[in-house]
Amino acid sequence: MTTENTVLYKNIVILTGAGISAESGIRTFRDQDGLWEEHRIEDVATPDAFRRDPALVQRFYNLRRAQLRDPSVQPNAAHMALAELEKHWEGQFLLVTQNVDNLHRRAGSKNLLHMHGKLDQVFCLNCDEHFTWVDDWDLEAPCPSCGKVGSVRPDIVWFGEMPYFSDEIYAALEKADFFVSIGTSGNVYPAAGFVQLAWKAHKIEVNLKDTEISRAFSEHFIGPASVEVPRLVQAFLEVNKE
């Protein structure tokens, strides 16, 4: 984003993936080539896996939820910079995250959509009650609302399930004149297709390296999110001061 494009952007959509939380100590999906306890993550994060082996799936999410209780896991400079951008932004601002951690919220982001759900939320398949849950979930525990045992699952969008907030996201992409993708490998759809839907936007990708969708972007900030996102936000606010 060079200084000559001193256009005043109006509608920003930002998409984040696991890479923005990597420097906070939360492993990405493809760090350990997508494996967990010798299982492909795509095979654990599915409704079938939960039906087949609920204990394995609950263990997978209990382990990751425990990370959110770890005081060493904190929002990093990239999360903070996005919250700062939103605070100083007069136009429309939407942050869509594929991540299920709570770091954007803890950094202060407000207009934030968790399209793949939240680690600190569970819901009951029997009565559909959704509730915040920050501890381990014990499979033998009854649903706090209807009392049924074994019917509570993580409030996570698994592979083969419909992501949340599709209507709001597509409407924002249609209007966007500025689209930034941060720390996502562009492997998972529909999120990986958002860059194509932001048809009139100036498109920037922030990543350590090229991704499956890099050629769809007109600018690339190559480097760690904790360095590149604050740099991008500062340059953006300078050029787009109202």
Please list the active-site residues.
Answer: 116
* Residues 38-57 contacting ligand BV8, CB under 6 A: 42, 45
Q: How far is the CB of 229 from ligand BV8 (least distance, A)?
A: 8
Compute the distance between CA of residue 200 and CA of residue 13 in angstroms, rounded to an integer.
Answer: 12
Least spacing, CB of residue 231 vs ligand BV8, in Å: 12
Shortest-Cβ-distance residue relative to ligand BV8: 19
Q: What minimum distance in Å lies between the beta carbon of 147 and ligand BV8?
A: 27
Considering the complex, state which of residue 57 and residue 143 has its C-beta at the smaller distance from ligand BV8. 57
Choose the binding region for ligand BV8 from 104-112, 131-139, 143-151, 177-185 (rule: CB under 6 A): 177-185
Does position 225 interact with ligand BV8 (CB under 6 A)? The reply is yes
Does the protein bind ligand BV8 through residue 75 (CB under 6 A)? no
**Strand boundaries in 34-192, DSSP class E:** 35-36, 39-40, 92-97, 112-114, 117-124, 130-132, 152-156, 178-182
The CA distance from 88 to 102, in Å, is 22
Of the two residues 207 and 240, which places its CB atom closer to ligand BV8 in the complex?
Answer: 207
CB of 83 within 8 A of CB of 109?
yes
Q: CA-to-CA distance for 136 and 197, rounded, in angstroms?
A: 38
Region 120-149 residues binding ligand BV8, contact defined as CB under 6 A: none
Contact 34, 18 (CB under 8 A): no
Please state, in angstroms and rounded to a whole number, the distance separating the CA atoms of residues 201 and 179. 6
CB of 9 to ligand BV8, least distance (A): 22
E strand or H helix that includes residue 207 = strand 202-207
> Among all chains, which residue has been given the structure tokens 């109006």?
10
Burial pattern 29-68, b for ≥16 Cβ within 10 A else e, equals: beeeeeebeebebeebbbeebbeeeeeebbbbbbebbebb
**Among residues 79, 104, 116, 202, the one that binds ligand BV8 under rule CB under 6 A:** 116
Contacts (CB under 6 A) with ligand BV8, residues 184-213: 184-185, 187-189, 207-209, 211
Contact positions vs ligand BV8 (CB under 6 A): 17-19, 22-23, 28-30, 42, 45, 98-100, 116, 156-163, 183-185, 187-189, 207-209, 211, 224-225
